Amino acid sequence: MKPHERLPLDFKRMLPSEQLQESRQFVNRMASRRSVRFFSPEPVPFELIENAIRCAALAPSGANQQPWKFVVVQDPEIKRKIREAAEAEERESYGHRMPPDWLRALAPLGTDWHKEFLETAPYLIVVFRIDFGLAQTVEGESRIKHYYVQESVGIATGFLLAALHIGGLATLTHTPSPMGFLSSILGRPKNERPFVLIPVGFPSPDATVPAIAKKSLAEVMDIK
Ligand SMILES: Cc1cc2nc3c(=O)[nH]c(=O)nc-3n(C[C@H](O)[C@H](O)[C@H](O)COP(=O)(O)O)c2cc1C
């Protein structure tokens, strides 16, 4: 394959004072992001969802293959089906599939199999990973290998969560296990696999969050 044409980098050199101001502001904004499990049914401007997905789709990816798809669910009937299927799986998981260590790790968060937020949140964004590309050739369908899918989709999901938060919306990173039901309910092709399910909206007025702490900079950063 021919190499891409090369373009000058579009890079705005900021004043050092601006750099610090922007980066501090961003840290402060991100410090108020929390996983929310109580949503208001209040509608959300759709452009906020679109812009967050635009932002996620700007993420770096292995060989620029962009192995992701963001399915936005707003239809109450589809949300109901997703809640029903997720609760059935989660009831099994909390009931007897999760080993005691896992249940112990989750206990302080107070989560259980009830997933009411899957119906109350105005939108569910289901992130799918595209495990391989599909191409039609004269011999029939052929598969194109994708590289670093997990890492790429993880980074794009981080961009998505940050953009939704900056847009003033609440999210939950939800991974009902197993998640195969999302492929069938949403009619996804065979090369896509569910990665994460993100309810999005405004928090309910009485929403609470567990009082957890984040590790300090000294704990997470090592300088050599
Ligand atoms: C990969 C991943 C999967 C998660 N799955 C769930 C989940 O299925 N249900 C849930 O209630 N929270 C889930 N969480 C949210 C975590 O519990 C939450 O991020 C953590 O407790 C820290 O809280 P914070 O997001 O408010 O900082 C998940 C988070 C991540 C990153």
Nearest ligand 1 atom to the CA of 175 is: 8
Closest CA to 180 of 85, 75, 115, 55: 85
Q: List per-block mean pLDDT (blocks of 10 residues) for the chain, which spans 224 residues.
A: 95 98 98 98 98 99 98 98 96 91 91 95 98 92 95 99 98 96 97 98 97 97 98
CA distance linking residue 198 with residue 79, whole number of Å: 12
- DSSP 8-state code for residue 63: G
Q: Does the CB atom of residue 63 touch ligand 1 within 6 A?
A: no
Tell me the whole-structure pTM to 2 decimals: 0.97
Which of 30, 33, 34, 35 to mutate to test ligand 1, by most ligand atoms within 8 A of the CB atom? 35
Q: Which residues fall within 8 angstroms of residue 186, CB to CB, at 6 or more apart?
A: 71, 73, 78, 126
> Any idea what the Cα angle at residue 35 is, between residues 32 and 36, rounded to 5°?
100
Helix (H, G, I), strand (E, B) or coil at 85: helix
